[in-house]
Structure 1
Amino acid sequence: MTLALAARMTQAAVDRAAEIGALVSAAVVDQGGHLVHFQRMDKAEIAGPTLAVDKAYTAVAHRIETAELGPLTQPGGDLWGLPANGGGRYVVFGGGIPCWHDGLVVGAVGVSGGTAAEDVECARAGHAVYESFLSDQSAP
């Protein structure tokens, strides 16, 4: 996950947020969950910077979209209690999407500040940049 690619990913997420009228923070982390790039829109909510990074971190750590974790962490679920672990960093609602390459998670994008659906939509826009990058790399 390069800085240039991560910057394009957060920009795509922020651009999509502007199109749909959301105010978000967007983050990209590498395969170790370390922040590579971050953007916060003017007037975005104050929890967004922490939640965007932690959504990306969670997506890397668990190799799953954060929206998919919610049901698994409910009482009786396979991952019941997950949000209470990891020093509180695990976020189990929409907006974090892992980036896969050759069977490995190499980073993730996280978005926070809108509704859960808006966060997912903006994260998908950032993730689409990553997918496009992979397609360009495999082209002859």
Structure 2
Amino acid sequence: MLGKLDQTQMETLLQQQVTGHIGCHADGVTYIVPVNYVYSAPYVYCHSAKGKKIEMMRRNPNVCFQVDEIRSIFNWQSVVAWGIFEEVTDVEESERLMQGLIHRIMPLANDPGDHPSHGITENDYDIGNGVDLIIYKIHLEKMTGRFEHH
């Protein structure tokens, strides 16, 4: 059976998952990339090093965010949302969001050791491993959800 997810089901899926995909578009190029995230309505919170995704979202902050749970080819659910990229520049907000990301991601890591490129390390001075981490949020303005169950 194919169907549409209601608002509560979409919110639940967004809260349960930790990896989604961001689609961005700038200068005639579309780019889709997986990201780790934390969801707290109406925002998706993420972090990244500088690179193609950040450059493109700075040029065009209109993005698409997708998350799914696939149990089998005929048993899945998916949410596609559209929103606005916003870089977090406030130090206190950035630190709070980074801690939230760490607490959400670390329990799912196979190796709980240091991951400085994700801001996860025993030594604060190792964070980023020479990489400036950028904390950003996507304000979700519209979303749709679908499912298939047999």
TM-score (norm 2): 0.28
Which structure carries more strand by proportion?
A: 2
TM-score (norm 1): 0.30
Which structure carries more helix by proportion?
A: 1
Highest CA radius of gyration, 1 or 2? 2
